[in-house]
Amino acid sequence: MSIEIELGLLEAYSRGEISRRDIQDCINEPVSFGDLLMQLHAHGLKLPRVASDPNSQGVRLIRQLAERGARVG
């Protein structure tokens, strides 16, 4: 059964200011990502677009691997 998360926490999560772990710390209960997604929607909030740097090592690596994957098929 999912626990209702207070709106302020959901808004902060949606803005990418806090993580799911921070929410769990606040309410002292496990929160599944799926429950979070549904509660975000219930309040008209978006999923956070947590990003780092488009030129980061990870993004470049994924791009290179995906390009190679397309060549290989």
- Write out the DSSP string of 11-60: HHHHTTSS-HHHHHHHHTS---HHHHHHHHHHTTPPPP-----TTSHHHH
5-64 residues in contact with another protein (CB under 8 A) are: 19-21, 24, 29-30, 32-35, 37-42, 46-52, 54, 56-64
Q: Min. distance of Cβ 49 from another protein in angstroms?
A: 5
**Contact positions toward another protein, by CB under 8 A?**
19-21, 24, 29-30, 32-35, 37-42, 46-52, 54, 56-70, 72
